[in-house]
Amino acid sequence: MPALRPLFVVAGIGRAAGTGAAAARRFSKEGYSVALIARGEDSLNALSEDIKKGGGEAAPYCIPSYSPDDIASAFTSISAQFPNSHYALRAALFNVGYAVWKLFLEVTAAEVQESLNTNVAAAFAFSRSAILKFKENNLNAENPKRGTLIFTGATASTRGNKMTSAFSIGKFGARALSQSLAKEFGKDGIHVAHAIIDGQIMTGAALERSGDKPLSGLSPESIAQAYMYLVNQEKSAWTWELDLRPAQEQW
């Protein structure tokens, strides 16, 4: 029986130029089929076509929101397009985030709710769908673990600050979720990891905001390389949390 092709699912690709897109391209080059989940249809389609032009296999899944129902619906569509007879979900990345940079008394109730919905409730729903798919994978000598679930975190995942009250509560929550899942599902051969991205990610949007000022930050491709490292770790030495920052970053 031919080996099942590994599948990588990523939620959150932004403008198709940041961490999620870089991870999708990297995993495709490593032989993974790629399922892309996001709200921006144009970016999704552009990234999917770019991966296909490079010889990979990719499919876009545009959802109206990161609600639990919409995420579950996306996974249902993915299962239909990438059936268990030919594919096995081996890696999943939750790269979604909602940031609020305001002083506490300026934050609205709607912004607090959106932070919790996107950073916590959506992460919970994505994790549930991914773990249920991982549990369908058999453990054997060729595949000693069922899959790897990665969360993209931030400096605000471990440290609140004057402008991050609404953002930090969401990122703290996602970090706590990842730790709980790592402890619960490690025995089942499911690796859960949380990556703290401590610094500015070098995307087109970041460069636009910096204007003429020099900008140092994290390369999305370097972050993707670290994610591949997590996926390839052996069971005897799994990382739950790693932090990534530029050499110049103050911390």
pLDDT at 206: 60
In the chain (251 residues long), the average pLDDT of successive 10-residue segments reads 90 93 98 97 96 98 97 98 97 96 97 97 98 95 92 97 96 98 97 96 68 75 98 96 92 84
**φ, ψ for residue 240 (rounded to 5)?**
-85, -50
By the 8 A CB rule, do 23 and 224 touch?
yes
Tokens coding 27: 């995993």
* 247 vs 249: CA distance, rounded Å: 6
Tokens coding 236: 């005897």
Look at the block and give the residue holding tokens 């087109």: 204
pLDDT at 143: 84
pLDDT at 141: 81
pLDDT at 8: 98
* 197 vs 155: CA distance, rounded Å: 6
By the 8 A CB rule, do 217 and 204 touch?
no
pLDDT at 213: 63
Sign of dihedral through CA atoms 96, 73, 193, 86?
negative
Beta-bridge partners for 10: 36, 93
pLDDT at 204: 63
pLDDT at 251: 84
Look at residues 59, 80, 76, 84 and name the one whose alpha carbon lies nearest to residue 135: 84
pLDDT at 87: 97
- Alpha-helix runs per DSSP H in the chain: 19-29, 41-53, 68-81, 109-116, 122-134, 165-185, 204-210, 220-231
Look at residues 125, 123, 89, 82 and name the one whose alpha carbon lies nearest to residue 8: 89
